[in-house]
Amino acid sequence: MKQIFIYDTTLRDGSQTEGISYSLGDKIRIAKALDGFGIHFIEGGWPYSNPKDESFFAYFAKKPLRFSRLTAFGSTRYPHNTAAKDKNIKSLIKAETEYVTIFGKTWDLHIKDVLKVSLEENLKMIYESIYFLRKKGRKVFYDPEHFFDGYKSNPSYALKTLKVAEEAGADTIILCDTNGGTLTQDVEKIVKEVKRKINTPLGIHAHNDSGLAVANSITAVKEGCVQVQGTFNGYGERCGNADLALVIPILQLKMGLRAVSPKKLKHLTKLAHFISEVSNIALSYNHPFVGRSAFAHKGGVHIDAVLKNVSTYEHISPESVGNRRRLLASELSGKSTVVVMAKDMNFNLDKKSPQAKRLLKILQNMESQGYQFEAADASLKMIFQRELKKHSSFFQLLGFKVIVEERNKELYSEATLKLKVGKKIEHTVSEGDGPVNALDNALKKALLNHYPSIAQIKLTDFKVRVLDEKSGTAAKVRVLITSSDEQESWSTIGVSENIIEASWQALSDAVEYKLLKDLGPRH
């Protein structure tokens, strides 16, 4: 099986995403996660550009990664300078990495209008920088910036820049589609032409401005590139880079090439979500391979087919990338869906039974009112538990009151809650940063002495969606809450014309789910 080398630049190119700002600790955590997954090369950053990247390389100089090779990134020497005196080149040496990656100019437009040097001087900058780094014992990856645009503008000169890099001793030359505007058919043609004239191993570095970064990367591999550079979840400046969460499984599962070990590939979904969390950018549900909905089936016809043969609507096994199949409850569901869901919850339910018909009717009615259980698995489980008489609530609501008032130009929220827990009545009052937070605090305050484990619950996301915009402030709203403890996260839902009532439904379900998980069903 042919090996394709994966080069991750999430910590450098990915950090240029609008809205992402990695701390030193974030970068170290991500690097360790990539190392554990089996990424071959991790670009740690540009040590000349900022002290944070200098500290990053200093950290790993003392505590090396186990599998991955760390690379320091920089540019060719500056014009009218020597490599030995160039501060940027010196910073690459100081980073103490076995591999360094440098970029240089390929496109004559950039050389004349940006660098403002002669084409000949640019060739010297490339040669001298690579040669100097090789003399210092470094292995060099050379990134010819804007290569595809440069090749289309002036093919003979673009090839000269590669020849110079090859003569200077570059270990791999990575062809860059820096503007992300090259069509896949042109990538195929140009890589094929370069492969005939350059003996040094080639790689591909594609940006996604035309939505083709993954397709261009895969095509470049097909034409002989042995290294793929990209970022996890497609992070990167403007429209991002080639998404390694897509590239890796395509290479391995679709093309029969080796990117990582099959055992490690099963952790792909976990890694993509981890990087999403550290980056503080939610991973879209429909993200291929690793998204929550990547193997989710909602239509009754689809579900019926998948139950008979998973290949009917799944192009790979979800488990091969660490994801899972989900059958969603909705007005489109049939009784087969209900039966399978019940089975997943260890309920033995017959498709023709009255319970199956009743549950289907309940779910369809609730969805018509605005509930969406594909986004609230925990609430769905609570419905099954209650309707199949396998669980009675850990507490009973007797009433609540929420007050929001202004005092001295500041807003205060207070919730009063009355619950029955077993045979005891709990009557609590609590303040909060807002009405929902006050209600959440009052609920936990009432239950903490009875169920200490609820102290572990953290509310990690709170979303409100207006379901009927024409009704204005009287519209029905849907509240989705995501909670977590030390082991997992779960989502619950509430729907009402009153946002506090909808929030209560979601909050109480979240606590019930936690207690059910910890203590088992209450009969």
Mean pLDDT by 10 residues, the chain (523 residues): 96 95 93 97 93 94 96 95 95 96 95 92 97 98 98 97 98 98 98 98 98 98 98 97 98 97 94 86 90 82 80 93 76 66 77 83 82 79 81 89 89 94 94 92 95 91 78 78 84 91 95 90 71
Q: Which of 312, 313, 341 is nearest to 327 (CA)?
A: 341
H helix count then E strand count, the chain:
18, 16
Q: Give the burial class of 347: count Cβ atoms within 10 A of its Cβ; 0-12 exposed, 13-18 middle, 19 or more buried.
A: middle
Q: Which of 33, 192, 168, 158 is nearest to 100 (CA)?
A: 168
pLDDT for residue 476: 86
Cα–Cα distance list, 103 to 115, 125, 154, 280, 460 (Å): 13, 11, 18, 29, 41
How does DSSP assign 391-429, residue by residue?
---S-EEEEEEEEEEEETTEEEEEEEEEEEETTEEEEEE
463-487 residue pLDDT tens: 888 877 666 666 788 898 988 887 7
The CATH 3.30.160.270 portion of the chain extends over 396-519
| Interacting residues of 30 by C-beta distance below 8 A, sequence separation 6+ | 10, 11, 22, 274, 275, 278
The CATH 3.20.20.70 portion of the chain extends over 5-260
Handedness of CA 268, 269, 270, 274 (dihedral sign): positive
Q: Which of 404, 418, 368, 383 is nearest to 500 (CA)?
A: 404
Q: How many residues does the chain have?
A: 523
Query: Would you state the structure tokens that stand for residue 353, as one six-digit string?
Result: 């039974």
pLDDT for residue 523: 65
Report the SS3 class of residue 44: strand
pLDDT for residue 388: 80
Backbone angles phi and psi of 207, in degrees to 5: -100, 165
Query: Would you state the structure tokens that stand for residue 122, as one six-digit string?
Result: 């640019």
Report the SS3 class of residue 486: coil
Q: Distance between CA atoms of 113 and 220, rounded to whole angstroms?
A: 29
C-beta of residue 50 within 8 angstroms of C-beta of residue 40: no
How large is the angle between the packed helices 87-94 and 119-135, nearest 10 degrees? 30
Residue 116 gets the label, from left (phi > 0), alpha (psi -120 to 50) or beta, of: left
Count Cβ neighbours within 10 Å for each residue of 309-335 and write b for 16 or more, e otherwise.
Answer: eeeeeeebebeebbbebbbbbbebbeb
Q: For 396-519, CATH number?
A: 3.30.160.270
Q: Distance between CA atoms of 382 and 356, rounded to whole angstroms?
A: 15
Query: Would you state the structure tokens that stand for residue 40, as one six-digit string?
Result: 């071959």
Give the position of tokens 């004239």: 197
Cα–Cα distance list, 218 to 124, 215, 281 (Å): 32, 5, 26
Q: Distance between CA atoms of 144 and 106, rounded to whole angstroms?
A: 6
**Beta-strand relationship, 172-177 and 202-206:** parallel
Query: Would you state the structure tokens that stand for residue 420, as one six-digit string?
Result: 């029955």
Q: Give the burial class of 39: count Cβ atoms within 10 A of its Cβ; 0-12 exposed, 13-18 middle, 19 or more buried.
A: buried
Q: Distance between CA atoms of 242 and 258, rounded to whole angstroms?
A: 18
Report the SS3 class of residue 176: strand
Report the SS3 class of residue 443: helix
Helix (H) or strand (E) holding 139: strand 139-145
Q: Which of 359, 356, 349, 302 is nearest to 326 (CA)?
A: 302
Q: Distance between CA atoms of 57 and 72, rounded to whole angstroms?
A: 8
pLDDT for residue 520: 80
| Domain 5-260, CATH among 1.20.120.1200, 3.40.50.150, 3.20.20.70, 3.10.20.310 | 3.20.20.70
Amino acid residing at 207: H
Q: Which of 113, 104, 108 is nearest to 74 (CA)?
A: 104
Cα–Cα distance list, 4 to 40, 204, 253 (Å): 9, 11, 13
Amino acid residing at 333: S
| Interacting residues of 164 by C-beta distance below 8 A, sequence separation 6+ | 123, 126, 127
33-60 residue pLDDT tens: 999 999 999 999 999 988 999 999 999 9
Please give the distance of CA 128 from its chain centroid, rounded to a whole number.
39
| Interacting residues of 398 by C-beta distance below 8 A, sequence separation 6+ | 418, 419, 420, 425
Report the SS3 class of residue 514: helix
Q: Which of 395, 363, 393 is nearest to 380 (CA)?
A: 363
| Interacting residues of 82 by C-beta distance below 8 A, sequence separation 6+ | 128
Query: Would you state the structure tokens that stand for residue 176, as one six-digit string?
Result: 């860059």
Q: Distance between CA atoms of 269 and 273, rounded to whole angstroms?
A: 6
Q: Distance between CA atoms of 417 and 400, rounded to whole angstroms?
A: 4
pLDDT for residue 296: 83
